[in-house]
Structure 1
Amino acid sequence: MKNKWLQIALSVLSLGLAVLLVVYLPEIVRALTGKPVSWSEIGALFATLGGGEIALMTALWLLSLLSYTFVLTSSLPGLNNLQGLALNAAGSAVSNLLPFGGAVGVALSFAMTKGWGFTSRAFVVMTLVSGIWNTLFRFVLPAVGIIALLAAGKAPNSTVANAGWTGAISILVLCLVVAAALYWDRAARALGRALDGLTRLLRLKVHASEAFHRLRADTAGVVRTRWPGLSLGMVFFLGFQWAIMAACMSATGAWPGLAESIAVFALSRVLTSALITPSGAGIMESGVAALLIAFGVGATPAIATALLFGFWTYTIEIPFGGLALGAWALLRRRGGRDAGAEPPSAISKAT
């Protein structure tokens, strides 16, 4: 990935694949479900959207962005919400344009925080802590989706229901164990021994407990004091994103029920991890549409919902992030000129 031409080629191929997946989404959904639909039908449904519905989606989108700034401000003490919004927007824009764009987004975030005066170590801790919380909640979401369906009685039989409950509870217990180990010393030692036992059983030549304890040492201070802000930030962020999906379902006539909507949302967030396209673009929409149809929603409303939700969680972040990045670059350049214009005495006093 150090070869620039290779990066450009992969980016073009990845973006091209995402575009193709969206363009041929009706055909993909037909292949997956056997339900025919056309772009003219989807366009006609989009034309029925009202200004109030679009305004509601816009407000929910902005609230979701604001909620995630609390995850960043909690993981990087001293960062304010406006800076967190700029970091989130610029990083998301880069990630949404490039395959494996997360690494480029991290480099961009490092440059931005460095320009605001944060140390390299503080940035590393922020990246680790926010990444851990994102990963934990990404594991929790499928369990929540399964539990929602089971609680609503959507399991086809008792065998599937029992398997679902077992899987969901196992996922939640695993997340609780990891979270406890990050916070409590005794739990950390127990998890370290369990990891070492697992690696010996699998005959892996790695020191899992050492790696875990290094990770814990790097993040312990922030996790112990700021876990409520991190957790609430993620809960509200995902809650508002689900609300966006619910608004999309309602606007297109694709509302399948509360439990089903939670399951569809959980699947959508899991599919964004598909690295073959930036942020799983195209893949997420196909999965969402297929699951909605499986829940009894018509093909046209299902595809329209998937596309609309993809717009609010992927497409719109690219121009918004570009604006945030441009504003940061402009302010940075202006700050540099102002500092250069100050007399030496003033600069030394400020330092």
Structure 2
Amino acid sequence: MFQVGLSVVSLALAATLVFLMPQLVAALTGKHVSWAQIGAQFAALGAREVALMTAVWLLSLLAYTFVLTASLPGLTHTQALMLNAGGSAVSNLLPFGGAAGVAMTFAMTRGWGFPARAVVVSTLTTGIWNTLFRFLLPAVGIVALLFSGQPLSSSVTRAGWAGVLSILVLVAVVTVALYWDRAANVLGRGLDALTRLLPRRIRPGGHAASEALTKLRTDTSEIVRHRWAGLTLGMVFFLGFQWLILVVCLHATGAYPGLAQSIAAFALSRVLTTALVTPSGTGIMEAGTIGALVFFGAPLDSATAAALLFGFWTYTVEIPFGGLALGAWTFLRRRENAATAPEKESISR
């Protein structure tokens, strides 16, 4: 009941933030926009633009199926599409929906006959790859901002390059540790040395850090070594199509600020989806994206409409689509059970 109540509160907060978006935008930018202006932008959308958004959104979903099929050998792309849609729908309805999404993943994959160990390895692998790309996106966004032509002070530029370098080093260390045994052991010993510097009351016992890292590497090393290309290309195309959704929204509303600027705004939007106050950072993501677009020179009403459209295609529409996927999965499971019931009955006789 507590989780349900928390979910209701979080969804209500998300809806309130979206409803108060003009006020949030005014606080962020010092400029004013009304829902009438935003509605006029929506009303100006043509069937061609909506069809293009729909097509690119579907391509982004298909791209992510390559990540799932690479992480779980034997999974079909149709099953991966249902798995992604169903898990996303559950996760998008809860403020801390990741655990519920994982539970749904286990239910669906076990129903298809996959062993628990394979599902655990798949969940760990996709989680790691998503995390690595969440680290890389800010680096890409910072580089895009530095090359966008926006006037930036020398201190901001230096801090930007330092941030990019730090992120790339971190990603490289984690990737190497996942791929090579010797690197994992060296990193594990380093983490052990760091934990010994912590106060005794919060210090993990034994070699907990290295053992956890070793276990993680052991569970994922085979998939990483043999299927890293599918995992990486799937994530690249998935995020690329999501960026393309934003570009289509920006062009449709007249808010497109330029290539580098659109990449920087996209990277910021994906970082803001990690805000845990609302599911997928709804309301917070849109407000931050609007602020970035206005900073890049986009008209306020156009930027607001584009950000809200982008939020629709990357969050809202996934809920009913995921519901349809879960319904299809439930229907197929019942039909399979009904088909196997006479066989089991004849065997028992």
TM value normalised by structure 2: 0.95
SS for the counterpart of 2:196 is helix
**1:74 match:** 70
**1:182 match:** 178
CA distance in structure 1 between the aligned counterparts of 2:270 and 2:10, rounded to whole angstroms: 19
**1:209 match:** 210
CA distance in structure 1 between the aligned counterparts of 2:326 and 2:30, rounded to whole angstroms: 43
Q: CA deviation at 1:296?
A: 1.6
CA distance in structure 2 between the aligned counterparts of 1:156 and 1:223, rounded to whole angstroms: 39
CA distance in structure 1 between the aligned counterparts of 2:198 and 2:266, rounded to whole angstroms: 35
Change (3 A) 1:347 1:87: farther
Deviations 1:205-234 (A, max 9, x none): 123212111111111111111111000000
Residues 149 and 155 in structure 1, CA contact (< 8 A), matched pair in contact too = no
CA distance in structure 2 between the aligned counterparts of 1:8 and 1:152, rounded to whole angstroms: 44
**1:98 match:** 94
Q: CA deviation at 1:130?
A: 0.2
CA distance in structure 2 between the aligned counterparts of 1:324 and 1:347, rounded to whole angstroms: 34
Question: Which of 31, 39, 49 does residue 53 from structure 1 map onto?
Answer: 49
**Is 1:337 the counterpart of 2:335 in the alignment?**
no
Aligned AA (1:227): W
**Is 1:308 the counterpart of 2:304 in the alignment?**
no
Aligned AA (2:57): W
Deviations 1:169-215 (A, max 9, x none): 11011101111110112221222222223323344512321211111
1:113-124 maps to which residues of 2 (within 5 A)?
Answer: 113-124=109-120
CA distance in structure 1 between the aligned counterparts of 2:162 and 2:4, rounded to whole angstroms: 45
**2:162 match:** 166
Aligned AA (1:39): W
CA distance in structure 1 between the aligned counterparts of 2:150 and 2:340, rounded to whole angstroms: 64
**Is 1:31 the counterpart of 2:27 in the alignment?**
yes
Deviations 1:312-351 (A, max 9, x none): 0001000100000000000100110110022656799xxx
Residues 68 and 233 in structure 1, CA contact (< 8 A), matched pair in contact too = yes
Residues 33 and 293 in structure 1, CA contact (< 8 A), matched pair in contact too = yes
Aligned residue-pair number: 344
1:172-251 maps to which residues of 2 (within 5 A)?
Answer: 172-203=168-199, 205-206=203-204, 207-251=208-252
Q: CA deviation at 1:146?
A: 0.4
RMSD: 1.5
Change (3 A) 1:152 1:34: closer
**2:146 match:** 150
CA distance in structure 2 between the aligned counterparts of 1:338 and 1:227, rounded to whole angstroms: 38
Once the two structures are overlaid, the 10-residue window that deviates more, 117-126 or 145-154, is 145-154
CA distance in structure 1 between the aligned counterparts of 2:322 and 2:44, rounded to whole angstroms: 29
Aligned AA (1:193): R
Q: CA deviation at 1:268?
A: 0.8
Residues 289 and 302 in structure 1, CA contact (< 8 A), matched pair in contact too = yes
CA distance in structure 2 between the aligned counterparts of 1:308 and 1:281, rounded to whole angstroms: 12
SS for the counterpart of 1:95 is helix
Residues 91 and 97 in structure 2, CA contact (< 8 A), matched pair in contact too = yes
CA distance in structure 2 between the aligned counterparts of 1:328 and 1:118, rounded to whole angstroms: 15
CA distance in structure 1 between the aligned counterparts of 2:335 and 2:326, rounded to whole angstroms: 14
Change (3 A) 1:236 1:61: same
Aligned AA (1:205): R
CA distance in structure 2 between the aligned counterparts of 1:37 and 1:157, rounded to whole angstroms: 30
1:263-278 maps to which residues of 2 (within 5 A)?
Answer: 263-278=264-279
CA distance in structure 2 between the aligned counterparts of 1:228 and 1:272, rounded to whole angstroms: 26
CA distance in structure 2 between the aligned counterparts of 1:156 and 1:321, rounded to whole angstroms: 42
Q: Which runs of no fewer than 5 residues in structure 1 stay unpaired?
A: none
Aligned AA (2:86): A
Q: CA deviation at 1:117?
A: 0.2
CA distance in structure 2 between the aligned counterparts of 1:111 and 1:347, rounded to whole angstroms: 27
CA distance in structure 2 between the aligned counterparts of 1:40 and 1:228, rounded to whole angstroms: 47
Aligned AA (2:332): L
**2:289 match:** 288
Q: Which runs of no fewer than 5 residues in structure 2 stay unpaired?
A: none
Residues 339 and 347 in structure 1, CA contact (< 8 A), matched pair in contact too = no
Residues 150 and 296 in structure 2, CA contact (< 8 A), matched pair in contact too = no
TM value normalised by structure 1: 0.95
